[in-house]
Amino acid sequence: MPVVEFLQGIQATIETLKAARAIADKFDDASLKLVLADSMSQMADLKLAAVDLKEEVARLKEELNDIKRVKAESGNMALEGDMYFFTDSDGKKSGPYCMPCWENKGKRLSLKPEQSDFRIFGTHHCLTCNGHFGPPSRGGGRGLGGY
């Protein structure tokens, strides 16, 4: 049963309980009124739980779509050294992309070219995980002892 129909059923039950309470108010039966009040409270709790379930289902659907997207893109990602490159359906190549971010999180994050002073760490870096990639270069680094 879809969550929306479940919520509608709970709401209909709450309305029925309200009608029963209105009838019970005509009588002076405290135990009946207590049972009806408890039932309405329990139904309200169920309605809140169903709303939480609806949100969880939406989150899981989004997560599943992300997994499907990553799986579909995986065939188009090629590792070259320690960087990934993407080839689209037209054969056009883009990149480089961060290896740890792709492999661990399924995120295709572009690497930025490293400034010449910092190329001793690699030719590119990821602004998200702060990793350095590509072959380090020696020489030309001002202020770094000539590495």
- Read off the pLDDT of residues 107-128 as tens digits, 9 standing for 90 and up: 889 999 988 776 777 889 999 9
Contact predicate 88/76, CB 8 Å: yes
What is the reported pTM? 0.49
Check residue 110 and report its DSSP letter.
Answer: B
Most confident stretch, 5-9, 33-37, 101-105? 101-105
**Least confident interval from 1-5, 12-16, 58-62:** 1-5
Compute CA distances 95 → 3, 29, 58, 103, whole Å.
42, 75, 32, 15
Q: Rounded CA gap, 47 and 35, in Å?
A: 18
- Would you state the pLDDT for residue 139? 52
When comparing pLDDT for 34 and 110, which is higher?
110
- Would you state the pLDDT for residue 112? 92
